[in-house]
Amino acid sequence: MAPRVLIADSLSPAALAIFRHRGVNADVKVGLSKDELIAIIGAYDGLAVRSATKATKEVIASAKNLKVIGRAGIGVDNVDIPAATAAGIVVMNTPFGNSITTAEHAIAMMFALARQLPAADVSTQAGKWEKNRFMGVELYAKTLGLIGAGNIGSIVADRANGLKMKVIAYDPFLSPDRAVEIGVEKVELEDLLARADIITLHTPLTDKTRNILSAEALAKTKKGVLIINCARGGLVDETALRAALESGQVGGAAFDVFVEEPAKANVLFGAPNFIATPHLGASTGEAQENVALQVAEQMSDYLLTGAVANALNSPSITADEAPKLRPFVALAEKLGAFAGQMVDAGLKGVDIAYEGHLANLNVKPLTAAALAGVLRPMLAEINMVSAPAVAKERGITVSESRQEMSPVYDSLMRITVLTDMGRRAFAGTVIAGAPRIVEVKGMELDAAFAPAMLYVNNLDKPGFIGALGALLAETGTNIATFNLGRVAAGDDAIALVGVDQAPDDKLVARIRALPHVKEARALDF
């Protein structure tokens, strides 16, 4: 029986044509209420959406036959991914289909802001002819600061270079070679704030990027700077920006995205020289055609052959490979996440070594899973399929090596990250089907991954373990697991502590202040 797909949001007719050509039965039912969707979703194998339809926990609970949810676009805020994963539903997106369109919108906003086009249009059509009121600025020879130089940011840089602008970029994952390739100067955030005449944001919204343009950051910008956000709401402190616009510290701002959407009201509305558009970044016929084609092809491939592309919650492996690779994919993701959370400086390269039985398997999905883990702390929307392409576009060197013999374990995976600060290596294996950490900084240990963990690097001195335990007890932090490794007595040592409560910054700072502690971090798995 042919699989059935529900197209619940407005997609290009090309999507329906592809489904039918591939032998998939597709129904178009747009504008369903939550209850209406719950009532019919059980009859479908696939659900194709844009951003309007919400695939909530309740919807997924009623989707007894659903195998795949396809998002025609990048963001998946409207899909409950944990619920879909628990139900065995693959969630796919189309990460690169609207990059050019979004970059062009940012450039359009930059022109509109520099020449005050929206206000000038309203004034002129009202018959005022206020020629002296709208004094603009040239973009030629101005310094454009990119916060984020990935796929979209690099396209903006290319267009800005064509306008003969000077382009600087802050992006922890941007390598020097890649910076040269896309024609930008790599700088730190403080330098960008001080130098940029115009700032445009092109980064995902993560804990590290939320309010990256805070009140403090805005105070460090050049007076009269122009700010453009066509990326994600929440990257700029909206209240602080309103104050900066009114004081003249910021000369103008143009936003396509807001903290709360739809933005029926916003603190920025009505501010001096502020331009707003209703999340139009991907709204061109070409972009919608591209993402519709991609999502239909990806969903058809999965439903008909089991092939997985651009999945946010499933590895790209065939049905035959799945039983062998599944535990090692879990290891790769967690070990990569460990390595990624230990990266503070610019990431230059990732080397992944496979030893023992693992070296004879198809390691491509493992490398992709490991890269996704490494990159995810800074790039929230990364997935296994897009991770290799993102690493390549950012100039991050990725290498694999295989060794059929492993001295201790049947199979071992080692991830080495190269940064501006040097190299760090992390090794793991699978024991009884579960991933484990067996080496950090060359020190052997044996630790299971826990949802919340503390990493502490210290000198192996008497009293340290007691001091750490006492501090955790004092703060009400319950220890679930405690694993130790060291070079030698009195030398370098590490502790990996699984805890029941996620450590906050204050606790980590107190651990760093303990005698003999060299480094302390909170880890999230």
Active site residues: 232, 261, 279
- In CATH terms, 450-525 corresponds, of 3.40.50.12170, 3.30.70.260, 3.40.718.10, 3.30.460.10, to 3.30.70.260
The DSSP annotation for 293-322 comes to: HHHHHHHHHHHHH----SBSSS----TTTH
In three-state secondary structure terms, 288 is: helix
Distance CA 492, CA 326 (A): 34
φ/ψ of 146, rounded to 5, equals: -95, 125
Predicted local distance difference test score (pLDDT) of residue 315: 67
Cis amide bond preceding 462, omega within 30: no
* Burial environment of residue 343 by CB neighbours within 10 A (0 to 12, 13 to 18, 19 or more): buried
The residues facing 226 across adjacent strands are: 198, 252
Cα distance between the two ends of the chain: 40
State pLDDT tens for residues 227-238.
999 999 999 999
Q: How many CB atoms lie within 10 A of CB 29?
A: 13
pLDDT value of residue 316? 64
The CATH number assigned to the domain with range 315-440 reads 3.30.1330.90
Place domain 1-96+282-313 in its CATH homologous superfamily. NAD(P)-binding Rossmann-like Domain (3.40.50.720)
- Ranges of the chain whose pLDDT falls below 50: none
pTM tops 0.75: no
Q: Which residue has the tokens 């289909």?
A: 97
- Which CATH number is 99-276's, of 3.20.20.140, 3.30.420.40, 3.40.50.720, 2.60.40.10? 3.40.50.720
**Under 8 Å between Cβ of 46 and 68:** yes
pLDDT at 407: 84
Comparing C-alpha atoms, which of 246, 216, 203 is closest to residue 106?
A: 203
Instruction: List where CATH 3.40.50.720 sits in the chain.
Output: 1-96+282-313, 99-276
Domain(s) labelled CATH 3.30.70.260 in the chain stretch across: 450-525
Do 448 and 481 contact (CB within 8 A), yes or no? yes
**DSSP three-state, residue 415:** strand
The DSSP secondary-structure symbol of 346 reads: -
CA 107 vs CA 75, 85, 241, 280, 475: distances in Å: 21, 38, 20, 13, 50
Domain with CATH 3.30.1330.90 in the chain: 315-440
